[in-house]
Structure 1
Amino acid sequence: MKVFVDQLGTSHSFAGSPKRIVSLVPSQTELLFDLGLEENIVGITKFCIHPFHLKSTKTVIGGTKQVKIDKIKALQPDIIIANKEENTLEIVSALQEICPVWVTDIITIEDNQQMIRDLGLLFNKRTEAQKWLDKIDFGYRGFQDFIKDKPVRKVAYFIWANPYMVAGGNTFINELLKLNNFENIYDNNPKYEGRYPEIIIQKMRIQGDPDLVLLSSEPFPFKDEHAFELGRHTHHATTVFVDGEMFSWYGTRLAKAFDYFKSLHERLPMT
């Protein structure tokens, strides 16, 4: 038996590499595919849209917050891959009655790299994992060189409307904002605790008055009317629609994010 430890510090013992995988997180499904594990994936969520063809070849077991326990049990998985933020403790506890549940916890880029490293070991895909680790490290170093002379801008990153919600501190999104020289006005804001606080947009000016209002493409489909409404509650902010996958999807998606961030900065107004 080999013992592996997930990012919550939970030990899991396996006689060999787990063969039948259920993935409860879209970005982690993409990672598993990129590690060469497509044939091992038996169940995914309805939000697992990359690569697109998996929706027609794998069993959809519900969403990230509401899973169909009986459907997962029928798949006879050897392991279920979950995430601390995306999946509730109740879901994880219930699924542990079926098989081991591997839980990731991603806040920083190093957390992301550790996840890839861990899954490479767990599924005997060390070579594939190392290729992605090297690719991400190369892109990360290149982007750090690109961003070093860019100005620091205050931002508010919106993820939802009605009610309006933003990315706060202690989130992967916030880490990538900092990487981009974006100062999140809701990072460690004592008036708005929590990772994704609901905010009062009429108070944005006194809460930090951002230079940029970033409207994520997911999970809420922001439209021009939202951009106009939010812009009215700042003194001078530019409202920008951004690709939410690039700011919130961890795993191998990070390798693509650095080029996206460069193109984003190239279309921002000069300060």
Structure 2
Amino acid sequence: MQRTFVDQLGNELTINYPPQRIISIVPSQTELLFDLGLDEEVIGITKFCIHPIEKFATRAKVGGTKKLRIDEIRRLQPDLIIGNKEENTQAEIELLMREFPVWMSDIYNLDDAVATIRQIGELVNREPEAAYLNHLIHAGFNDLQTLALSKGIHQNVAYLIWKDPYMLAGRHTFIDDVLRRIGLNNAVAESRYPALTLQELQALNCQLVLLSSEPYPFKEKHIQELQEALPQAKVWLVDGEMFSWYGSRLVKAVQYLFNFQQQLAGF
């Protein structure tokens, strides 16, 4: 049976339904597919699709999110490719769309993430499973927002994703929305991912500076560097997956962010 869908960029695609040969080129969406109960249907993933690790080891790798191995994708002959506007490169996606059905997500906030889970559930014939995940996510993040209010969490924060130059998560990003939902105020006024000098970072006068574990792998040694430059702020390492992965990882993120809020309450 064939069915037609419209992705989040407005592109129409017709697929053999339900799809049996899926390539996922976004790590968080790959994890979602497995958590929805798919297994052998997922035939190709990127080298960054590390969750769940036991699935990673047994799937064909089609390159990185921004540098795909197009020939390997052609060899696998997928009946569906699932990507994301921000994670993947436009030229590669447009090339793949000429040969295969490609469904693209476009995510800026938690509501978009929930819609993506629902739509991918429809796409792969796992609607009840997707609805259950979304129920857990809704309930969890509602509780986190209530906790932020009750604990008076409202610190100004800078969230760093890169070094040399320092790049931060600004407004209109998924990370910004997660920060806001747990009570934090993003000190960065610019949209997307601006690069700031150390002097500009100092001028933000943040109470809290978060160093993400990805995409740049910030470590303990980087805390001291920034703590000396920003003596008025607390500098913490955080698990970037919990702030930026927008699939089923959000279920696990609720507990992580709850524990994080407990730290903030004692700030």
Q: TM-score range by the shorter chain?
A: over 0.9
How far apart, CA to CA, are the structure 1 residues paired with 2:77 and 2:183? 46
Distance 1:42 1:15 in 2: 16
Q: What percentage of residue pairs aligned between the two structures are identical?
A: 45
- What is the correspondence of 1:19-58 to structure 2 with a 5 Å cutoff? 19-58=20-59
Residue 213 of structure 2 contacts residue 219 of structure 2 at CA under 8 Å; is this kept in 1?
A: no
CA drift at 1:231: 2.1
CA RMSD in angstroms comes to 1.4
Asked if the contact 1:120/1:126 (under 8 Å) is kept, the reply is yes
Q: How many residues align?
A: 265
- Give the whole-Å Cα distance in 1 for the aligned partners of 2:16 and 2:156: 51
**Structure 1 runs not aligned, ≥5 long:** none
Equivalent position of 1:255 in the other structure: 251
More displaced stretch, 225-234 vs 208-217: 225-234
Aligned equivalents of 2:265, 2:200: Cα separation in 1: 24
SS at match of 1:77: coil
Equivalent position SS for 1:251: coil
Aligned equivalents of 1:141 and 1:170: distance in 2?
Answer: 20
**Residue 160 of structure 1: aligned partner:** 162
1:111-260 alignment, distance < 5 Å: 111-149=112-150, 150-186=152-188, 188-189=189-190, 194-206=191-203, 208-260=204-256
Give per-residue Cα distances to partners, 1:64-97, cap 9 Å, x unaligned: 0101000000001001100000001011011113
Structure 2: how far apart are the matches of 1:198 and 1:3? Answer: 41
Cα distance in 2 for partners of 1:248, 1:203 equals 24
Shift of 1:250: 0.4
Question: TM-score w.r.t. structure 2 length?
Answer: 0.95
Q: What residue in structure 1 maps to residue 86 of structure 2?
A: 85
Query: 2: CA distance between counterparts of 1:6 and 1:262?
Result: 33
Whichever residue aligns with residue 171 of structure 1, its letter is T
Which amino acid in 2 is paired with 1:110?
D
In the TM superposition, residue 110 of structure 1 has moved relative to its aligned partner by 1.1
How far has the Cα of 1:56 moved from its partner?
1.7
Q: Secondary structure at the match of 1:148?
A: helix
Distance between the aligned counterparts of 1:64 and 1:265, measured in 2?
32
State the one-letter code of the partner of 1:164: Y
Normalising by structure 1, what TM-score? 0.93
Q: Could you tell me how far apart the structure 1 residues matched to 2:60 and 2:226 are?
A: 40
Alignment of 1:94-109 (within 5 A): 94-109=95-110
Residue 5 of structure 2 aligns to a residue whose secondary structure is strand
8 A contact 2:23–2:42 mirrored in 1: yes
Aligned residue identity for 2:264: L
- Structure 2 CA distance, aligned partners of 1:115 and 1:198? 29
Cα distance between partner residues in 1 of 2:265 and 2:117 = 36
SS at match of 1:210: coil
Question: How far 1:15 sits from its partner (Å)?
Answer: 4.3
Deviations 1:147-179 (A, max 9, x none): 112221011101111221111111101100111
CA contact (8 A) 1:204 1:233 kept: no
CA distance in 2, matches of 1:262, 1:121: 30
Q: Which letter does structure 1 place at the counterpart of 2:138?
A: D
User: Unaligned regions of 5+ residues in structure 2, if any?
Assistant: none
Moved more, 137-146 or 116-125: 137-146
Distance 2:149 2:22 in 1: 41
**CA 1:16–1:68: 2 relative to 1, 3 Å:** same
Residues of 1 paired with 2:139 and 2:265: CA distance?
A: 27
Q: Which runs of 4+ in 1 moved over 4 A?
A: none
Aligned AA (1:254): L
